[in-house]
């Protein structure tokens, strides 16, 4: 879905990927990331957030918590991350980002609260009193009081299946008072997800009922005597919606796909963020008129529905701009994605080892893929900063052996 966007707005990135793969500097089953473009995207976020009084926390799960990109984000002014779960927080911290927010999409397990507290998160979301007790006890053991956000819910709110839970808004004042009575925690604000969703019918971002719930909860807490409350409002976050969020009362935003130009909005509009990520594979073998390409990272985020997937098959020395995309037979959702198959026209000259480039909305952390940040593309001096596993750890480095291009570090 994003391949044409890449071809149109970042063709040099695609040409760089093809060249680096053909020379063995990029392995297959690898998400290549244009770190220069991510830096420009992050800078645009920071500038607009500064203008509007918003605090951005970077979501890095979808890029495999790549530590080289984490460094670029810090250099661009986004110093803290939001973590989808504890493992995400640990990886983000190891990559050089502070932890701005954890515990929201996935609560912290009971016996891992001490690990979470040791990361000194700025904000920690809790869904109930038990989780608040665990956060408070661990924070006190770490010599601090933890600011917590309450996930608030109301009839009419919508959640992805399995994301449900939180404090009922009709009793939010009493719930906040109860949480404040727990040693080691202080109620600092409220959160929900998603506060914004892509509307396929109009091709725009729309406020969800959850966002109204969020603001209603804040207003009720202010009316009860509280002040300085944080309003954390993630979902479909691009620079284009920041003013709307600020006007609604948000104080914290959490760009993820916005940093790589792959929100659903980017699929239908040219926004300020540039497309900056592509999946790199390689032809493994040919069989019965199909090219089979290495998988492992072929999870396409279904946020836009069943959009057909296409790819570029690029022979060494060929410019991807001169290649037309071909349809891909993706592995079934219930199958392990060892390979994807590409039907070939009769007489095709595709060869084993050719580069294959995909452009789709990634969620690297749920795959077996690698990631690699490529710097210097905008200066004509591309450099692979490193190759990392899908959880942001276990870097792979080039081997000096001519027989083994990649070895475990």
**Least confident window among 57-61, 202-206, 331-335:** 331-335
Express each pLDDT in 254-275 by its tens digit.
999 999 999 999 999 999 999 9
Model confidence band, residue 397 (pLDDT cutoffs 50, 70, 90): low
Instruction: Choose between 394 and 176: higher pLDDT.
Output: 176
User: What residues form DSSP beta bridges with 147?
Assistant: 186
Q: Mean of the pLDDT values across residues 355-365?
A: 97
Three-class SS state of 39: helix
The predicted structure's pLDDT at residue 401: 43
Cα 319 from Cα 323, distance rounded (Å) = 7
pLDDT 10s digits, 122-153 = 999 999 999 999 999 999 999 999 999 999 99
Provide mean pLDDT across the span 111-115. Answer: 98
Looking at residues 318-336, what average pLDDT do you find? 95
Residue 225's pLDDT is 98
Question: For residues 338 and 293, is the Cβ–Cβ distance under 8 A?
Answer: no
Question: Which domains are assigned to the chain?
Answer: 3-33+275-408 (2.40.37.30), 36-268 (3.20.20.10)
Q: What gap in Å lies between CA 179 and CA 136, rounded to an integer?
A: 10
Q: Where are the alpha helices (DSSP H) in 171-312?
A: 172-180, 209-223, 242-248, 264-268
400 pLDDT exceeds 80?
no
Contact 20, 379 (CB under 8 A): no
CB distance 278 to 7 below 8 Å: no
Pick from 32-46, 275-289, 301-315, 357-371: least confident: 301-315
Query: What is the per-residue pLDDT for 333?
Result: 85
| Residue located via tokens 């992805």 | 160
Structure confidence at residue 138 (pLDDT):
98
Average predicted confidence (pLDDT) for the chain: 95
Q: Please report where in the chains the tokens 């006190």 appear, as a residue.
A: 140
φ, ψ of residue 20 to 5 degrees: the values are -65, -35
- 374 pLDDT exceeds 70? yes
Mean pLDDT of 67-86: 98
Average pLDDT in the 271-291 region?
A: 98
- Read off the pLDDT of each residue in 364-371 and give the average, rounded to a whole number: 97
Q: What is the pLDDT of residue 395?
A: 59
Instruction: Give mean pLDDT, residues 394-401.
Output: 54
What's the whole-model pTM score?
0.95
**Distance in angstroms (rounded) separating the CA atoms of residues 204 and 304:** 13
| % residues pLDDT > 90 (the chain) | 92
Distance between CA atoms of 107 and 224, rounded to whole angstroms?
Answer: 27
Across the range 180-200, mean pLDDT stands at 97
């Amino acid at each position: 879905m994003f391949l044409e966007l890449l071809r149109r707005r970042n063709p040099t990135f695609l040409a760089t990927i093809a060249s680096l793969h053909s020379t063995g500097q990029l392995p297959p089953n690898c998400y290549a990331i244009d770190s220069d473009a991510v830096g420009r995207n992050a800078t645009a976020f920071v500038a607009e957030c500064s203008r509007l009084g918003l605090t951005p926390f970077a979501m890095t799960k979808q890029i495999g918590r790549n530590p080289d990109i984490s460094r670029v984000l810090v250099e661009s002014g986004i110093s803290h991350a939001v973590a989808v779960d504890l493992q995400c927080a640990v990886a983000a911290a190891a990559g050089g980002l502070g932890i701005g927010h954890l515990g929201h999409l996935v609560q912290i397990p009971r016996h891992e609260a001490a690990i979470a507290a040791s990361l000194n998160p700025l904000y920690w979301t809790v869904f109930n009193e038990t989780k608040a007790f665990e956060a408070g006890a661990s924070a006190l053991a770490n010599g601090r009081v933890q600011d917590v956000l309450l996930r608030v819910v109301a009839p009419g709110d919508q959640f992805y299946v399995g994301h449900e839970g939180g404090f009922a808004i009709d009793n939010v004042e009493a719930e906040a008072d109860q949480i404040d009575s727990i040693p080691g925690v202080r109620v600092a604000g409220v959160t929900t997800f998603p506060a914004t969703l892509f509307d396929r019918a109009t091709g725009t971002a729309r406020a969800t009922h959850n966002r109204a719930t969020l603001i209603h909860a804040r207003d009720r807490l202010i009316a009860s005597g509280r002040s300085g409350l944080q309003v954390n409002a993630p979902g479909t976050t691009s620079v284009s919606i920041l003013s709307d969020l600020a006007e609604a009362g948000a104080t914290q935003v959490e760009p993820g796909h916005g940093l790589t130009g792959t929100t659903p909005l980017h699929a239908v509009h040219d926004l300020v963020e540039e497309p900056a990520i592509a999946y790199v594979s390689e032809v493994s073998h040919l069989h019965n008129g199909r090219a089979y390409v290495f998988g492992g990272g072929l999870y396409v985020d279904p946020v836009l529905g069943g959009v057909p997937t296409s790819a570029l098959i690029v022979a060494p020395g060929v410019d991807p701009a001169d290649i037309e995309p071909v349809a891909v037979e993706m592995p079934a959702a219930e199958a392990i994605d060892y390979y994807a198959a590409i039907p070939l026209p009769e007489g095709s000259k595709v060869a084993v080892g050719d580069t294959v480039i995909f452009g789709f909305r990634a969620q690297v952390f749920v795959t077996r893929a690698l990631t690699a940040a490529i710097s210097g593309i905008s200066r004509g001096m591309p450099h692979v900063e490193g190759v990392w596993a899908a959880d942001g750890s276990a870097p792979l480095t080039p081997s000096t052996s001519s027989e083994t291009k990649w070895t475990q570090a």
